[in-house]
Structure 1
Amino acid sequence: MSDQPISRFPVATLEDVPTDIRDYVLAIQEKSGFVPNVFLALAHRPDECRAFMNYHDTLMDGDSGLTKAEREMIVVATSAANQCLYCVVSHGAILRIRAKDPLLADQVAVNYRKANISDRQRAMLDYAMKVALCSEDIEDADFAPLREHGFTQDDIWDIGAVAAFFAMSNRLANMASMRPNDEFYGLGR
């Protein structure tokens, strides 16, 4: 276990957070075997933590034409482009588990264009990267390749929403110098 700080900002302890946040984090701990540092780093601002968790869960676990693994691909690719160590490491672990592929997350993080993914997923990630890095340049023509691969209007929204949410998350994690848990590195390998 690292002795490096979790964040540049205050870090909550489970004993100090409101009951609803504590219950949420304990449920994750039960499932994963550890408390992801992001929750302790965000919990020092409970209202923001709740809003973050609610939107995260809606995007990543809600109904969508995208698989959960595809949503994680978006997070890993865009987080790598945004140089967010925390999100690449933590969501890379989740991607390995959800895709049942120990190599995919590393491929997507380094260069999704050379990763072992489908043409459909490549089109999805091309669009997600544009949302994450230069959303001001998005135009109607950007939707054509997605539609050609069968993405619906709702799917296209979901791709953009995941990329946009994690662009914000990446910036918060980088600003705080949030450290990924050591446990993430070995998951799904």
Structure 2
Amino acid sequence: MPLDDALPISRFPVPSLADLPKDIAERVAAVQEKAGFVPNVFMVLAHRPDEFRAFFAYHDALMEKPGNLTKAEREMIVVATSSVNQCQYCVVAHGAVLRIRAKNPLLADQVATNYRKADITARQKAMLDFAVKVSVTAYEIAEADFAGLARHGFGAEDAWDIAAIASFFGLSNRMANVTAMRPNDEFYAMGR
């Protein structure tokens, strides 16, 4: 049962659907049609339309492209790094997406709590070790980190992808925390 539907989803002004620029309104409507609800991140970031567009363009470039990382592995990176950054919104929202993409109702909670003990492959653990290092101590990244990824079949472009996802969600985590963005109640039950 929701705590209080009247609680704000952001400490900043949230535009109404009717007041959104046409392109943003179309994007929100498409997401609503697919998910059955509007994730709060869309409405919170719509407060600044130009930044909304840039944010989601980069999000899509990182998260929706083909490559050596599966969509589930990309979500693992988001959940593990968002946990380290203590971002409730991203852990809950991307945890839901991870459960769906991995077809595993337990994995997101394991990754969010302690990915080192999660039921993941050695390859995925190496990927998350690198991603978390990028999130916490990127200044310490060295050739040995790339060699560790290479031992698990990750090339230079994969390392870029892992680092870019961790970095992008560092921005996302910080903005979600600053705005006091609340996860939608719907996320909690998805993929369970």
Q: The TM-score by the shorter chain falls in which range?
A: over 0.9
Q: Distance in 1 between matches of 2:40 and 2:169?
A: 16
Q: Which consecutive aligned stretches of 4+ in structure 1 deviate over 6 angstroms post-superposition?
A: none
What is the aligned-residue identity percentage? 66
Q: Write out per-residue CA displacement over residues 84-143 of structure 1, whole angstroms, 9 at most, x where no aligned residue.
A: 000000000000000000000000000000000000000000000000111011111111
| Correspondence for 2:78 among 75, 78, 95 | 75
Q: Distance in 1 between matches of 2:65 and 2:89?
A: 23
Aligned to 1:54: 57
Aligned to 1:21: 24
Query: What is the Cα deviation at residue 63 of structure 1?
Result: 2.4
The question of whether the paired residues in 2 share the 8 Å contact of 1:128 and 1:160 is answered with yes
Query: What is the Cα deviation at residue 12 of structure 1?
Result: 1.4
Aligned to 1:141: 144
Query: What is the Cα deviation at residue 145 of structure 1?
Result: 1.1
Query: What is the Cα deviation at residue 156 of structure 1?
Result: 0.7
Q: Distance in 2 between matches of 1:45 and 1:124?
A: 33
What secondary structure sits across from 1:98 in the alignment?
Answer: helix
Q: Distance in 1 between matches of 2:67 and 2:125?
A: 18
Amino acid at match of 1:82: N
Q: Distance in 2 between matches of 1:180 and 1:18?
A: 23
| Correspondence for 1:116 among 95, 103, 119 | 119
Query: What is the Cα deviation at residue 45 of structure 1?
Result: 0.3
Select between 131-140 and 99-108 the one with higher mean Cα deviation.
Answer: 131-140
What secondary structure sits across from 1:6 in the alignment?
Answer: coil
Give the TM-score, by structure 2 length. Answer: 0.97
Select between 111-120 and 137-146 the one with higher mean Cα deviation.
Answer: 137-146
The question of whether the paired residues in 2 share the 8 Å contact of 1:6 and 1:37 is answered with yes
- Is 1:35 aligned with 2:35? no
Give the TM-score, by structure 1 length. Answer: 0.99
5+ long unaligned stretches in structure 2: none
Query: What is the Cα deviation at residue 13 of structure 1?
Result: 1.4
Q: Distance in 2 between matches of 1:118 and 1:158?
A: 19
Q: Distance in 1 between matches of 2:76 and 2:156?
A: 19
Select between 101-110 and 136-145 the one with higher mean Cα deviation.
Answer: 136-145
Q: Distance in 2 between matches of 1:13 and 1:60?
A: 27
Q: Write out per-residue CA displacement over residues 31-79 of structure 1, whole angstroms, 9 at most, x where no aligned residue.
A: 1000000000000100000000100011000122100000000000000
| Correspondence for 1:104 among 107, 118, 121 | 107
The question of whether the paired residues in 2 share the 8 Å contact of 1:64 and 1:158 is answered with no
- Is 1:183 aligned with 2:168? no
Count of residue pairs brought into register by the alignment: 189
